Amino acid sequence: MADDRAVLVTRPEPEAQETAQRLRALGRRAILAPMLAIAPVPARLPEPGALQAVIAGSINAVRALPPAFHTVPLLAVGDATAAAARAHGFRDVRSAAGDARALAALAAATLDPSGKPLLLPTRAREGLRLAADLRARGFAVLRRIVYAAHPAETLPDPAATAFATGGIDAVVFFSASAARSFARIVRASAMAGRLGGVTAYAISEAAAAALGDLGFQAVRVAARPDQDSLLALLPPGGSNEGRGEWSG
């Protein structure tokens, strides 16, 4: 049986809650410490009828689009984003089940480069390579900033206490942005020497690289960029009876 140390979840809300539920089902206790706060950004969007498709690289991009776009076909980077799109009311959704390159390849295989433009909703400084890849394939791409991700300044008190007392054995990272925010907090605090018994689990090589050298016991990367693959790396916990979660 694994010990009772917790998994720190750095994912933004509300997805952090869903990950905590998954961890409880695996017999693990979760401490929530979102490293990003997501907020919508007003954007001048094209008319839905002027678009061939929406290209969605994240759940947050899907959530930021108004209902008028639900009739537009949507290509999602992965299955979780596709599921979120369907839950939000999009009717025609296809998943690339991969990364940004896979998403561009799906667009090339299923859409018409000479047709109407593609809408790429994203956040500042994100989606640039995907837009360039799509344009290189002949597509007209309308990239619009529809949400912002504000990095956390500190760890929530329950997380800081758990680190100080050795109560965390794993940290999960779902994006490079969250990893960068965590690394910045660690370097500015006394935590730098407290990660030797902790393993970092990253959803991608980019997320792992964003951590830099923080002194983790190990950094492991998911075989595929999705939550199932990421959580599959974690050692199992014991019984989840009576276990809860802490949230800051």
| Residue 248 forms part of a structural domain | no
Element (H, E) at 89: none
Contacts with 14 (C-beta within 8 Å, 6 or more apart), sequence order: none
Write the CA distances from 166 to 34, 184, 191, integer angstroms: 20, 20, 11
pLDDT number for residue 125:
87
| Residue 1 forms part of a structural domain | no
| Residue 45 forms part of a structural domain | yes
Is 171 found in the same domain as 221?
yes
| Residue 247 forms part of a structural domain | no
User: SS3 string of 223-239?
Assistant: CCCCHHHHHCCCCCCCC
DSSP, res 5: P
Pick the last residue of a domain from 101, 123, 149.
Answer: 149
Largest CA distance in the chain: 59
- Tell me the residue range of the domain where 228 lies: 6-35+152-238
User: Within a 10 A sphere around the Cβ of 119, how many other Cβ atoms?
Assistant: 26
**The CATH number of the domain where 74 resides is what?**
3.40.50.10090
Q: What is the dihedral of CA 90, 92, 98, 101, to 10 degrees?
A: -100
Is 139 found in the same domain as 49?
yes
Which parts of 26-152 fold into alpha helices (H)?
A: 59-64, 79-87, 100-110, 128-136
Number of structural domains found in the chain:
2
Is 96 found in the same domain as 191?
no
Is 26 found in the same domain as 61?
no
pLDDT number for residue 3:
60
DSSP E strands in the chain: the ranges are 6-9, 30-32, 36-40, 53-56, 74-76, 93-95, 118-122, 141-145, 147-151, 168-173, 199-202, 218-221, 245-247
Pick the last residue of a domain from 119, 134, 149.
Answer: 149
Is 130 found in the same domain as 221?
no
pTM of the model: 0.83
Contacts with 113 (C-beta within 8 Å, 6 or more apart), sequence order: 137, 138, 139
Residues of the chain with confidence (pLDDT) below 50: 1-2, 239-248
pLDDT number for residue 190:
74
Pick the last residue of a domain from 149, 168, 191.
Answer: 149
